[in-house]
């Protein structure tokens, strides 16, 4: 039986509910997702690293529904991180539903409320409450929360097939342009010289600054401090606290190594030996667990080597990338700008945003192709990143890797993505597509607006 709700908390719940149904809905740069936002009788759960804009996404959806003519009273929003709700339990949330039913008229036939629950993981036992609300058939649910508390496997276990997961990432290039009130050209490959130069400057700026909303417009020192704080908070709260990690020194060393070596092959065995030589005592199994936790918290994205053998996948090195290219200059100790690593990171996150599965390819002759992307229909694409295609040796090497990989994947589309529109120093093979990465990003697959 649930403990009685203290009067101050009851009053806070009523006030928060009333404000959500009458106050102005916060704005923000529009966010888009690929694929469906909702499924009947499932809760939509928005997941992602802290500060990528999950709360703004929920408000955006509410504003769009309001613009479509939905009654404002059918769009309640509750932020469970409000300090007045500290100690609230899932069993006590029945009061919220009762209060809503008492104060809001019964919707017309065919209409029902959509509850937006922000940071719902704060409430212990939230899963049972969400299931009960879904089972009642009286409401739809959109929820968001800190990534480590709403992992895919936890959602699947807790909601037993009653959830539809929406991953949210930092700003895409198109969203970056919108945030800075810069027009996205349509089509992006038909521009005069001045417009193309402006678009390339914006693209290079996005690769440098990254896509975290709060990092936009900051000076370099402030942005670096902000992003360091993001990483530290996510590491401490979403990994150390949640998984009761005691080997914090090893965890911090692992995270800094991965963020500082974006796109480099990573071996647990080699890293374990390096830590041991520095006097850091930690087991290999512990490092495997920590790596998994960092991936689950969206702090790093892991890419396996392409192989038809599961055993080969496990023994070959993975590549790790940060969630955002803006993190690279903060953790890369070389002190030198690395456009190639930033471009690789941005392309990988765009592929994940499009919900494609990615591996990296080692060709029979020992060359590497950055990504093999697989779509839901089985279509494949080999993608090679070339930061400076004007250099003959670099361009020739990247193209040779694509051609070599094509022998093992003859049906895959072969694409060379370059940072800018600098021309290639020689003719391309007929089956290889070369284009600036910003064109590929802006001319991506058709998006479906939130439903």
| pLDDT tens for each residue of the chain, 451 residues long | 567 899 999 999 999 999 999 978 988 898 888 888 888 889 998 988 989 999 999 999 999 999 999 999 999 999 998 999 999 999 999 999 999 999 998 777 778 899 999 988 888 888 889 989 998 888 999 998 765 556 555 565 667 778 888 899 999 999 999 999 998 888 888 889 999 999 999 999 999 999 999 999 999 999 999 999 999 999 998 899 888 999 999 999 999 999 999 999 999 999 999 999 999 999 999 999 999 999 988 999 999 999 887 777 777 889 999 999 999 999 988 777 789 999 999 999 999 999 999 999 999 899 999 999 999 888 999 999 999 888 888 888 999 999 999 988 999 999 999 998 876 777 888 899 999 999 999 987 644 333 3
| CA distances (Å), origin 426, targets 129, 368, 389, 422 | 62, 21, 10, 12
Q: Chain centroid to CA 19: how far? A: 30
Q: Tell me, what's the pLDDT at 424?
A: 74
The answer to whether 67 and 30 have CB atoms below 8 angstroms apart is no
This prediction's pTM: 0.91
Q: Tell me, what's the pLDDT at 446?
A: 45
Residue 161, Ramachandran bin (φ over 0: left; ψ between -120 and 50: alpha; else beta):
left
Burial profile 368-390: b = 16 or more Cβ within 10 angstroms, e = fewer? bbbbbbbeeeeebbbbbbbbebe
Prior bond to 187 cis, omega within 30? yes
Q: Tell me, what's the pLDDT at 311?
A: 75
The answer to whether 420 and 390 have CB atoms below 8 angstroms apart is no
Q: Tell me, what's the pLDDT at 451?
A: 39
Domains annotated for the chain, with CATH where assigned, are 7-168 (3.40.50.300), 174-442 (no CATH)
* CB-count exposure of residue 31 (10 Å: 0-12, 13-18, 19+): buried
Q: Tell me, what's the pLDDT at 426?
A: 74
* CB-count exposure of residue 71 (10 Å: 0-12, 13-18, 19+): middle
Q: Chain centroid to CA 202: how far? A: 21
DSSP string, 361-427: EE-TTS-EEEEEEE-TTS-EEEEEEES-TTSHHHHHHHHHHHHHHHHH-TTSEEEEEESS-PPPSSP
Q: Tell me, what's the pLDDT at 156?
A: 55
Q: Tell me, what's the pLDDT at 37?
A: 83
Strand (E) or helix (H) holding 114? strand 113-118
| CA distances (Å), origin 288, targets 40, 153, 294, 446 | 37, 18, 10, 37
Q: Tell me, what's the pLDDT at 449?
A: 37
The phi, psi pair for 118, rounded to 5°, reads -100, 135
Strand (E) or helix (H) holding 304? strand 300-305
Q: Tell me, what's the pLDDT at 448?
A: 37
Q: Tell me, what's the pLDDT at 73?
A: 93
Euclidean distance between CA atoms 60 and 310, whole angstroms? 41
Segment 129-186, tens digit of pLDDT: 998 999 888 899 999 876 555 655 556 566 777 888 889 999 999 999 999 999 888 8
């Amino acid at each position: 039986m649930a403990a009685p709700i203290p009067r101050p908390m009851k009053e806070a719940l009523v006030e928060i509910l009333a404000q959500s149904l009458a106050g102005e809905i916060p704005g923000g740069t529009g966010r888009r997702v690929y694929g469906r936002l909702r499924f009947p009788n499932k809760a939509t759960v928005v997941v992602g690293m802290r500060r990528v804009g999950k709360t703004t996404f929920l408000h955006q959806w509410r504003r769009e529904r309001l613009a479509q003519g939905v009654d404002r009273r059918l769009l309640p929003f509750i932020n469970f991180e409000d300090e007045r709700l500290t100690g609230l339990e899932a069993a006590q949330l029945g009061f919220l539903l009762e209060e809503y039913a008492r104060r809001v008229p019964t919707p017309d036939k065919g209409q029902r409320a959509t509850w937006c629950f922000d940071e719902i993981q704060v409430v212990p036992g939230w899963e049972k409450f969400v299931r009960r609300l879904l089972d009642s058939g009286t409401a739809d649910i959109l929820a968001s929360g800190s990534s480590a508390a709403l992992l895919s496997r936890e959602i699947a276990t807790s909601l037993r097939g009653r959830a539809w997961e929406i991953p949210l990432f930092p700003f895409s290039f198109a969203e970056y342009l919108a945030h800075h009130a810069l027009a996205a050209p349509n089509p992006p490959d038909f521009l005069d010289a001045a417009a193309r130069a402006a678009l390339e400057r914006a693209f290079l700026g996005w690769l440098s600054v990254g896509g975290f909303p709060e990092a936009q417009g900051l000076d370099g020192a402030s942005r670096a401090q902000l992003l360091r704080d993001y990483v530290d908070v996510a590491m401490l709260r979403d990994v150390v606290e949640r998984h009761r990690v005691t080997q914090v020194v090893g965890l911090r060393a692992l995270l800094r190594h991965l963020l500082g070596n974006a796109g480099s092959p990573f071996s647990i065995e080699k890293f374990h030996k390096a830590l041991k030589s520095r006097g850091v005592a930690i087991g290999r199994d512990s490092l495997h667990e920590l790596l998994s936790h960092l991936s689950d918290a969206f702090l790093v994205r892991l890419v396996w080597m392409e192989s038809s053998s599961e055993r080969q996948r496990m023994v070959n090195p993975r590549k790790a990338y940060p969630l955002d290219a803006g993190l690279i200059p903060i953790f890369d100790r070389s002190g030198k700008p690395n456009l190639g690593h930033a471009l690789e990171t941005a392309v990988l996150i765009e592929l994940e945003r499009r919900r494609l599965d990615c591996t990296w390819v080692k060709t029979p002759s020992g060359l590497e192709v950055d990504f093999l992307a697989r779509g839901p229909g089985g279509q494949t694409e080999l993608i090679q990143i070339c930061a400076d295609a004007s250099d003959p040796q670099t361009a020739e090497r990247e193209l040779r890797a694509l051609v070599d990989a094509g022998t093992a994947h003859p049906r895959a589309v072969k694409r060379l993505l370059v940072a800018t529109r600098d021309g290639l120093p020689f003719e391309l093979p007929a089956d290889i597509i070369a284009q600036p990465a910003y064109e590929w990003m802006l001319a991506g697959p058709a998006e479906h607006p939130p439903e």
